[in-house]
Amino acid sequence: MAYTPMIQQYLKIKEQHQDAFLFFRLGDFYEMFFEDATKASQLLEITLTARDGGDQGKIPMCGVPYHAVQGYIDRLVNKGYKIALCEQVEDPKLTKGMVKREVVQVISQGTLMARNGLNEKENNYLAAIVHHPSNQYGLAYCDLSTGEMATTYFEVDDQKLLNELSTIHATEVIVARSTDEGLLEQIRLQLNAMISHNDSVTCGTSHHKLFGETINDVELQAVSRLLSYLDETQKRDLSHLQPATHYELNRFMKIDYYSKRNLEITDSIRGKGRQGTLLWLLDETETAMGGRMLKQWLDRPLIDRAKIEQRQDNVAAFIQFFFERQELQTALKQVYDLERLSGRVAYGNVNARDLVQLRQSLQQVPAIKAVLAKMADANLQQLGEQLDPVADLRDLLEQAVVDTPPVTIKDGGMIRQGYNETLDVYQDAMHNGKSWLAALEQQEREVTGIKNLKIGYNRVFGYYIEITRSHLANVPEERYERKQTLSNAERFITPELKEKERIILEAEEKSLALEYSLFVELRETVKAFIEPLQALAKGISEIDVLQSFATVSEAQQFVRPTFSNNREMHVEAGRHPVVEKVLGHQSYVANDCLMNNERQLLLITGPNMSGKSTYMRQIALMAILAQVGCQVPATAAVLPIFDQVFTRIGAADDLISGQSTFMVEMLEANNAIQNATADSLILFDEIGRGTATYDGMALAQAMIEYIDEHVHAKTLFSTHYHELTAFLIG
């Protein structure tokens, strides 16, 4: 007993992609069979049918139309599945027997490229982990849609690895098949990330330019695993990937997973949206790529004072030039996503409308440069001077592409008149031919006196003259040759009409073929500009984030903080920036904060709903705002530069991990105490409330003593245990 040849071909290909839905191209549809069909029909809510499988009888089948496939792919990927896209790699019209088919791409959460499947203001990071024999983790990650790639390494520490993966919000993580299942389970639960496997720690020599100059052997293996997986799944040009940038964790403020969640920096604890987060407050960016850079800055606040103050200088300057900033925002609004457009160009799936967006973006660069040049500030002027307008590409696109091209690149109508002489000849023949047809129609109406005579076209008979039955008696003898009889009309042709038809159709066919060829050639030419386009995107993104900081700081009446050299914190009339935004300036009660080497731990008491947690959070958010280069919500602020922020705020069971409120509380508190330094900020909210009163009070007292005597971190500790105040005073 055997399956049909086509089903045998399907099964052979499916055997190589057991972890993915195989979308098998059959004509105008992608079909799925067997278990894939049964499962996909449920997930996609499409009809499950059956197909003859040969001797095996009917087999389950479902399908989706090829022109709408991306929407179905996005739905499955968002549910955590992979798709192996299997195409016909031969023209069925030129092939005898079975058409050859191959998987041309595997699409997963970390390799999405389609614009509808991606959040425009968030990166989509694919990460690879290597456990090196030196007992170090190597981590490499990239955003395939933008080309960004980075790598780092650190001693083997699962929590540190999880924190770093959560910092980049990795959507897919590539690991060796031997990776500990406990770690994989934590990645799935904490990050909701897809796990993929690849055992390689080497890759082809063609990728050596992507290794960067500063990476070590641990990072080299991680980058190699990442690139090996991309080669295996994408099977196409990756020329838009940028060399891996090495970074060190200790060059940024560390904020662990729990603290980011508690402080609602980029994600709300009430849901997955941005509403009510620090990111929501700060995002006045005008471009998608500026929005992504803002999120990157919030994920990694700086600890280098000079770099922070450079950003502060730029923000202060933007605040000063209000009207010029409005001009800048107008220009930025018209800049499309240069990074992701570059990625689509490299992938070969860019259409003519994408190139129009690219052209329109480049046309705004001179305006951006001109506005920055008008601002009497050397730093802002330098930001403008660094922007390369990529004028050669802009001029080429202005010459080549029409203003409103169709979506489909095989429909024609993309290339501007005057770009190619041969194409102009074909299109002139088409347009003149159609004008000739209109003139012929008018002429024949006058000769015959038949006012409703018309010239039409169909694919079977070509061009024809149609006359209704009621007017057939008016047709001059031997003027026309009868071609087709309809129920209420007759269709005729003439030798002259058939000759013109030949000229028009030949011109249309040649025009479409040449236009498609010219577009493919143009797309390849644009590839050569990917590197300057990516550099331009980075420059515009930075300008966009800085103007966003200025806009928010001015609107919310923030102040520029200064940094102390002796670990002093002195905040006057500080506010929680997000709460204030929601309540408004009139309703918010501001608070001071004074901490120094003699006053490094504050004990906060008060009834429920009195604002203890809000006060603590506002101090942490103020530190983060200051260290990303933004101004802060206060009338005056002197801050230390913190190396880490730890929080234990709020009570919630971690039921998925099987941990009680008390266990979660102790784990988070232990993480802070074990890893904090004298330059850290710790926020503990009612530690010990998850157990008996005296046990809780003993725990709280022990932690206070340990932090005060051994850690020396700036600490805000809220409590209902009023007895602790007597202990501190004593």
pLDDT at 491: 95
Cα-Cα end-to-end distance for the chain: 89
DSSP E strands: which ranges in 38-77?
Answer: 49-52, 58-65
Sequence ranges of the binding site for ATP: 606-613
> Which one is predicted more confidently, 253 or 214?
253
On average, the pLDDT of the chain sits at 92
Among 176, 177, 132, 123, CA closest to 150 = 123
The answer to whether residue 381 scores a pLDDT higher than 60 is yes
Distance CA 226, CA 184 (A): 17
Residue range 315-352, pLDDT digits in tens: 999 999 999 999 999 999 999 999 999 999 988 889 99
Chain-centre distance of CA 698, in angstroms? 48
Give start-end residues of each CATH 3.30.420.110 domain in the chain.
119-251
Distance CA 105, CA 70 (A): 13
Quote the DSSP letter at residue 482. Answer: E
Distance CA 394, CA 421 (A): 21
The sheet carrying 136-143 orders its strands as 194-197, 172-175, 125-132, 136-143, 149-155, 245-246
617 touches 649 (CB < 8 A): yes
Give start-end residues of each CATH 3.40.1170.10 domain in the chain.
5-107
Distance CA 389, CA 487 (A): 63
Superfamily (CATH H level) for 556-729: P-loop containing nucleotide triphosphate hydrolases (3.40.50.300)
Return the axis-axis angle of helices 322-333 and 352-374, rounded to nearest 10°. 170
Residue 637 CB burial class (10 angstroms; 0-12, 13-18, ≥19) = buried
Residue range 442-463, pLDDT digits in tens: 999 998 999 999 999 988 889 9
- In the numeric block, which tokens belong to residue 73? 């792919």
- Domain 283-390+529-554 in CATH 1.10.1420.10? The answer is yes
Give start-end residues of each CATH 3.40.50.300 domain in the chain.
556-729
Residue range 392-439, pLDDT digits in tens: 999 999 999 999 999 888 888 999 999 999 999 888 888 888 888 899
The answer to whether residue 535 scores a pLDDT higher than 60 is yes
Give start-end residues of each CATH 1.10.1420.10 domain in the chain.
283-390+529-554, 421-525
Residue range 183-241, pLDDT digits in tens: 999 999 889 999 999 999 988 777 888 887 778 999 999 999 999 999 999 998 888 99
Sequence ranges of the binding site: 606-613
Chain-centre distance of CA 398, in angstroms? 28
pLDDT at 655: 39
- Domain 119-251 in CATH 3.20.20.140? The answer is no
The fold of the 5-107 domain, in CATH, is MutS, DNA mismatch repair protein, domain I (3.40.1170)
pLDDT at 654: 45
The fold of the 421-525 domain, in CATH, is MutS, DNA mismatch repair protein; Chain A, domain 3 (1.10.1420)
85 touches 104 (CB < 8 A): yes
Distance CA 337, CA 588 (A): 38
Phi, then psi, of 713 in degrees rounded to 5: -80, 155
